[in-house]
Structure 1
Amino acid sequence: MKIGCPKEIKPQEFRVGLTPDAAREAVLHGHQVLVETGAGDGAGFGDDEYLAAGAQVLGDAAQVYDQAELIVKVKEPQPAERAMLRDGQVLFAYLHLAPDPDQTRDLLQSGVISIAYETVTDGRGGLPLLAPMSEVAGRLSPQVGSWALQKANGGSGVLLGGVPGVRPGNVVIIGGGVVGAAAARVAVGMGANVTVLDRSLPRLSYLDDIFMGRLNTQFATAGALADLLPPADLVIGAVLIPGAAAPKLVSRAQLGSMKPGSVLVDVAIDQGGCFETSRATTHQNPIYEVDGIVHYCVANMPGAVARTSTRALGNATLPYLLALADKGWHRAISDDAHLRAGLSTWRGRLTSAPVGQALGLAAITPDEVLAG
């Protein structure tokens, strides 16, 4: 199979969909790998490394899209990229369709067979292709939150770890999953006073055990969150409903209860954000202010640490990529129900129920696709 890896063109996206190591594995499996020149530059992988791995380096994205049967990317295709997709071609990438009707429409019109990283599942109920980037974003969130708290950036001037004689800052993390646990690990390490909210008592018990009392856990209710907002210096939104739009958990009215210069970091912004006042930002212009509260809503946070993120993502996606290439998409998703869960569009039909619900579109199931 011809596997194509174009350069990412979303603003400040420095990751790449295929590492040289992954390219080498695909070549060893008998596949032809086509990489756009400069695709790996942002992550520190030069064209020479792809050539050494046995890949071909092509001059522009159009050549990659024209020749490849399977396109592997990181972020959702941008409008110019969507115009190059074709009927029957396979797209394997993060898509986040629920808050993006324009992309959904274009993918349906193209006839592409799209498989979303973020909805591929595993036998333990996890999301194995989302988890590594969730881990990265979670660990980054206290770092960027502490930066946004600096007075020069519009924040309140609070040092999360405090100093002797001065209390540490208060960090509230909404959601105790992969993102929340990773955020808690870094925030606790900074010396902050950390509270994690979640609706799973077993998850709260797990976090309490692994952190050995170094953070506070609280069952998530609207009342509990309302009580925690006024003293909070940093609130991290780390909620996820797989494939669906994120719930709005903090309203604009509630910003008035928070201290001026406090910070909201919305890690759920790829799925529309979990704060009413969230809107996607970029690494170039990452923050904005609403009612005196600083918002950090970068939609591709892991892109800031592109080399680490690319390697982590490549480790997770490689087995699925090889399955798609070795078997073809139909047999691959037929053999693997977890990969099948990632099927989002198929030749003009929507195959994700959560996306259909979010956008008011009819959807069929992946099983119906396999049934013909």
Structure 2
Amino acid sequence: MRIGVPTEIKNHEYRVGLTPASVRELTHAGHAVAVQAGAGRGIGCSDADYLAAGAQVLADAPAVFEWAEMIVKVKEPQPQECRMLRAGQLLFTYLHLAPDPVQAEGLLASGCTAIAYETITDARGGLPLLAPMSEVAGRMAVQVGAVALQQANGGRGVLLGGVPGVAPGQVCVIGGGVVGTHAARMAMGLGAEVTVLDRSLPRLRQLDEVFGGRLRTVCATLDATEAAVLQADLVVGAVLVPGAAAPKLIRREQLSHMKPGAVIVDVAIDQGGCFETSRATTHAEPTYVVDGIVHYCVANMPGAVPRTSTFALNNATLPFVLALAGQGWREACRADAHLREGLTVHAGAIVHPVVAQGLGRPCTDVAGVLG
């Protein structure tokens, strides 16, 4: 199969769909790979590295899209990329489609088949292609939140770890999944007092067993969530409903009761955000202030550490790329029920029920699509 890797064009996005090592695996398996010139610059990989791995290097995105049967990316296609997709072409990338009707229109109009990283599952019910970026985003959430708390950046002027004789900062993590666990780990590492809220008692028990008395776990009722948020210096929104828009957990009227200069980091912003006042920002202008509360809502947080993120992501995506290229998407999805969960768009129709519901569109039965 001909596999194309364009340069990512989202604001301050430096990751790339395939590393040279992944290209070598694919070419060794008999596939052809074309990489856009300069695509790997952000992760420290040159065109020469890709050539040595067996890829060809094409001058621009139109050349890559025209040549390829399958496009492998990282972030959702931007409008100009949607216009380059075509019927019969396979797109394999993050989509986060439910809160993004503009992207949905572009993908449907293209006639392509799109498989989303973020809804592929595993035998344990996890999301193996979302997990590595969730790990990065969870750890980054505390890192960027600590910086935003500095008074020069609009924050309360609180050092999360405190110092002897001065209490540490209070961190509230809403959601005890992959993002929340890694955010809690980082916050505790800095010496903060950490509370994690989740509706799953088994998950809270797991966190208590792992972290013991260093972490406070609370069942996420409305009252408990509000109380924890109002006491916090830093709030990390880490709630995920696979494929669907994130639920709004904190309303605007509650902001005025938070500590002035407190910071919100909304890691769920790719799925629309879990705070009413959240709106997507970029690494160029990552924060804004509403009612005295600093909001950090960058929709591609792992793009700030592209080398770590790209290699972590490729560890998870490469087996699926090999399967799709070797078997074709239909046969690969028939053979792997977990990969099939990622099938989202085909030939102008939505085929993922949760995404269709989020967009308010009809859903085509995936069984009919797979024949």
- TM-based fold match above 0.5: yes
Residues 236-286 of structure 1 show CA distances to partners (whole Å, capped at 9, x for unaligned) of: 000000000000000000101101100000000000000000000001100
Q: Give ranges in structure 2 of 5+ residues lacking alignment.
A: none
Rounded to whole Å, the distance in 1 between the matches of 2:206 and 2:29 is 41
In the other structure, the counterpart of 1:105 is 105
Provide the residue aligned with 2:218 in structure 1. 218
The AA in structure 1 aligned to 2:228 is L
SS of 1:230's equivalent in the other structure is helix
Structure 1 residue 230 corresponds to structure 2 residue 230: yes
Aligned letter for 1:181? T
What is residue 243 of structure 1 aligned with on the other side? 243
Decide whether the 8 Å contact of 1:119 with 1:342 is kept in 2: yes
The answer to whether the 8 A contact 1:229-1:257 is kept is no
Identity across matched positions, percent: 66
Residues 171 and 192, structure 1, Cα contact 8 Å, conserved in 2:
yes
Tell me, in whole angstroms, the C-alpha distance in 2 between the residues paired with 1:110 and 1:181.
38
CA shift digits 1:142-179 (9 cap, x unpaired): 00000000000000000000000000000000000000
Q: What amino acid sits opposite 2:218 in the alignment?
A: Q
Distance in 2 (CA, whole Å) between partners of 1:45 and 1:213 is 43
Cα separation, 2, equivalents of 1:37 and 1:229: 46
1:170-202: CA deviation from partner (whole Å, max 9, x where unpaired) = 000000000000000000000000000001111
The CA deviation string for residues 108-153 of structure 1, in whole angstroms up to 9 with x for no partner, is: 1111000000000000000000000000000100000000000000
**Which residue matches 1:339?**
339
Correspondence 1:307 to 2:293: no
Query: Which aligned pairs between 1:134-173 and structure 2 lie closer than 5 A?
Result: 134-173=134-173
Find out whether 1:20 has 2:32 as its counterpart: no
Which letter does structure 1 place at the counterpart of 2:150?
Q
Whole-angstrom CA distance in 2 between matches of 1:114 and 1:229: 38
SS in 2 for 1:106: helix
Superposed displacement of residue 365, structure 1? 2.9
Instruction: Give the corresponding residue for 2:6.
Output: 6
Q: Which ranges in structure 1 are unaligned for 5 or more consecutive residues?
A: none
CA–CA distance in 1 between the matches of 2:182 and 2:365?
33
Runs of 4+ with >4 A deviation: none
1:310-340 CA deviation, whole Å, 9 max, x = no partner? 0000010000000000001110001001000
| Alignment: residue pair count | 371
Opposite residue 295 of structure 1, the aligned amino acid is H
* 346-355 or 153-162, larger mean C-alpha shift: 346-355
Equivalent residues of 1:341, 1:366 under 8 A apart: no
Offset of residue 213 of structure 1: 1.2
User: 1:41 maps to which residue?
Assistant: 41
Instruction: Please give the alpha-carbon distance, in whole angstroms, between the structure 2 residues aligned to 1:109 and 1:230.
Output: 45
Residue of structure 2 equivalent to 1:270: 270
Match of 2:326 in 1: 326
Question: Residues of 1 paired with 2:368 and 2:121: CA distance?
Answer: 19
User: Hey, what's the Cα distance between the residues in 2 that align with 1:350 and 1:48?
Assistant: 39
Distance in 1, matches of 2:178 and 2:344, equals 23
Return the alpha-carbon distance in structure 1 between the equivalents of residues 355 and 257 of structure 2.
Answer: 33
Q: Residue in 2 aligned with 1:79?
A: 79
Deviation at 1:352, TM superposition (A): 1.2
Give the aligned residue type for 1:299. Answer: A
Residue of structure 1 in register with 2:206 after alignment: 206
CA distance in 1 between counterparts of 2:113 and 2:81 reads 15
RMSD: 0.6
Taking the TM superposition and a 5 Å limit, the aligned residue runs for 1:110-129 are 110-129=110-129
Distance 2:363 2:305 in 1: 36
TM-score (norm 1): 0.99
SS at match of 1:213: helix
Report what 1:370 is aligned to: 370
Q: Work out the CA distance in 2 between the residues paired with 1:230 and 1:108.
A: 43
Cα distance in 2 between the residues matched to 1:258 and 1:151: 16
In 2, the alpha carbon distance for the partners of 1:147 and 1:254 equals: 23
User: Which whole-Å deviations, capped at 9, do the CAs of 1:3-61 have from their partners, x for residues lacking one?
Assistant: 00000000000000000000000000000000000000011111011000000000000
